[in-house]
Amino acid sequence: MIFDKLINYLKLDKQEFIFQFNSHPNYPSALAFSDTLNFMGVKNDAYELDKEYWDELPEEFIAIVENSFSLVKKSGNSYSVYSEKSKTIDKDELYKNSTDFVLLFEKTVAAENKLTFNFKPILYFIFATVLIYSFLSQTIYEALFNLLSLAGVYISLEIFNQKFGNTSAVIGSICGGASTVQTANSCDKIIKQDKTSILGLKFSDFSLIYFSGLAVLGLFLPASAYIVKGFTFVSVLAIAYSLYIQAFVEKTFCRVCLLIISVLVGQLVISSIFFQNLSFGIGALLLTVILWVLIFSAVLYFNNLLEQKENLQKSNAKNLRFKRNYDLFKSQLLENEKVTFQDTQTFSVGQKDSKLRISIISNPYCGFCKDGHKIMESLLKKYPNDISVQMRFNYTPERANEKYTQLISDLTYIYHNKPEKEFLHAVEEWFESKDENKINLLSGGVPTSENLNPLIAMSAENNNAGLNFTPIFLINGYQFPDKYDREDIWFFIDELIEDEDF
**What are the structural domains of the chain?**
4-111 (3.90.70.10), 120-313 (1.20.1440.130), 327-498 (3.40.30.10)
Residue with more model confidence, 304 or 278 = 304
Average pLDDT of 242-249? Answer: 83
- 50 exposed, middle or buried (CB, 10 Å; 0-12, 13-18, 19+)? exposed
Kindly report, residue by residue over 173-220, the tens digit of the pLDDT: 677 543 333 344 556 666 666 666 777 788 778 889 999 999 999 998
Tell me the sheet residues that pair with 356: 387
> Residue 110: its pLDDT value, please?
42
**Which string of DSSP letters, residue by residue, matches 355-378?**
SEEEEEEE-TT-TTHHHHHHHHHH
* pLDDT band of 399, cuts 50, 70, 90: confident
pTM assigned to the model: 0.53
Count of other CB atoms within 10 angstroms of residue 501: 4
Has residue 111 got a pLDDT over 50? no
Count of other CB atoms within 10 angstroms of residue 28: 12
Tell me which of 47-51, 96-100, 147-151, 440-444 is least confident.
47-51
3 state SS of 501: coil
92, containing H or E segment: helix 91-97
Phi, psi at residue 364, to the nearest 5°? -55, -25
Kindly report, residue by residue over 286-310, the tens digit of the pLDDT: 888 898 899 999 988 888 888 887 7
